[in-house]
Amino acid sequence: DKWKRTQMALKAGIDLVIELPVVYATSTAENFAYGAVKLLDSLKIVDCISFGSEKGDLNELTKIAEILLEEPIYYRKALKEYLKSGITFAKARELALQKVINNNEIEKILQTSNNILAIEYLKSLKKIGSSITPFTIKRKGSLYTSLELKGEFASASSIRKHIFEKGLEGLEKYIPDFTKEILQSSFEKKQGPVSLEEFSNILIYLLRNHIPLNHIFDVSEGLENKIYKASYKTNNVEELMKLVKSKRYTESRIRHILIHLLLNIDKQIFKEFDGPNYIRVLGFNEKGKEMLREIKKKSPLPIITKVSQYKEKLSNTKMFEKDLFATDVYTLAYKNSSIAGLDFIHPLIKL
């Protein structure tokens, strides 16, 4: 859960951990990046942001980000021409970028997860006019989506897959000892591991009951019908995603939609809020405590350390209440019984 991950982060040398609201954390790369950058900018103490990318070249990524954000006329013209040919939007965008930038590596750049997210971070920084300086670190080892545990640096996906299939043994080379200990402690208490598959029954029930999907971000009419039809062919969410997946609809997109269905996150919330409207603190060390004092002086956003006070601190509680609901839903997948309302009783993590 988020508190165990906070523990890991603090033990790894992080000073302050704040929560990215679930509406952004579970959304598209564009929304995820915008929520994260807006939140960091709102702290008013952040001067740099660092992120990994397969490309490792900030200038090249910035060029792409600027064109995608500003959409100059020559780019829009090229995009329109490619879309007329009947190809997917993603492919048309890729070809239009390749034409205006004259770089035959565009396809390679836009097909890797960290490059995509890096471009979205850069777009968001420019969009809000932030003074934060970006840095990128070239990713080493396996691709983020690689499912094979190999090399010096394994992918997050391969580590998760290994945990679900074989447990923690054999991961010593890839995760710190303290991470293994924290995970071991959680699993012994039957608190995880948790995947979307644990919620198959709930999601299939909602889909077979034809709960409307058109209010969820990134759902088109064609995709909505495909998801409904697939729910009658399987009672497993992972299988459902494979049935729906196509060149047009990526598994990642379908996954985000299903999570938003599970948490009842509608697209209206992205219109209602321009980024997070609070700073939810999960944990800190001594240096982080000092940083919080600075944030309190400079940030326009309320700092929430005591969840019981959120109604007093927020004029609009909708986004924060989604975080509370997400915790309650997440704990439904625990193998031992768990009460709701953990956000109200779990202490801050201090190191």
> Which of 63, 124, 125, 53 minimizes the C-alpha distance to 97?
63
Helix (H, G, I), strand (E, B) or coil at 282: strand
Distance CA 128, CA 200 (A): 38
Contact 239, 196 (CB under 8 A): no
Give the pLDDT of residue 154: 86
Q: What sign does the dihedral 277-283-285-286 (CA atoms) show? A: positive
Six token digits for residue 128:
């809000």
Give the pLDDT of residue 150: 77
Tell me the one-letter amino acid at 348: L
Distance CA 87, CA 312 (A): 51
What residues have CB less than 8 Å from 149, skipping those under 6 apart?
A: 158, 159, 161, 162, 170, 171, 174
User: Which helix (H) or strand (E) covers residue 347, if one does?
Assistant: none
> Which of 141, 189, 149, 142 minimizes the C-alpha distance to 166?
149
Contact 263, 270 (CB under 8 A): no
Give the pLDDT of residue 338: 75
> Which of 73, 195, 178, 60 minimizes the C-alpha distance to 118?
60
Q: What sign does the dihedral 207-210-215-218 (CA atoms) show? A: positive
Judging by DSSP bridges, how do beta strands 279-284 and 16-18 pair with one another?
antiparallel
Could you read off the pLDDT of 148-179 as tens digits, one per residue? 887 788 888 899 999 999 999 999 999 999 99
Q: What angle do CA 28, 67, 78 make, to 5 degrees?
A: 100
DSSP secondary structure string, 93-121?
HHHHHHHHHT-TTHHHHHTSHHHHHHHHH
Contact 108, 94 (CB under 8 A): no
What residues have CB less than 8 Å from 291, skipping those under 6 apart?
A: 15, 16, 45, 284
Contact 137, 52 (CB under 8 A): yes
Tell me the one-letter amino acid at 167: G
Contact 276, 259 (CB under 8 A): no
Residues of the chain with pLDDT below 70 are 142-145
Could you read off the pLDDT of 196-236 as tens digits, one per residue? 999 999 999 999 999 999 999 999 878 999 999 999 999 99
pTM: predicted TM-score of the whole model, two decimal places:
0.94
Query: In the structure, how many helices (H) and strands (E) does the chain have?
Result: 19, 6
Count of alpha carbons within 13 angstroms of residue 211, beta-carbon side: 17
Give the pLDDT of residue 143: 64
Q: How many residues does the chain have?
A: 351
Give the pLDDT of residue 144: 58
Give the pLDDT of residue 142: 63
Burial bucket for residue 343 (CB in 10 Å: 0-12, 13-18, 19+): buried
Distance CA 93, CA 79 (A): 6
Distance CA 20, CA 28 (A): 14
Domain limits, the chain: 49-139, 141-191, 196-255, 276-350
Give the pLDDT of residue 103: 83
User: Which helix (H) or strand (E) covers residue 78, if one does?
Assistant: helix 73-84
What residues have CB less than 8 Å from 59, skipping those under 6 apart?
A: none
Residue 53 bridge partners (DSSP): 138
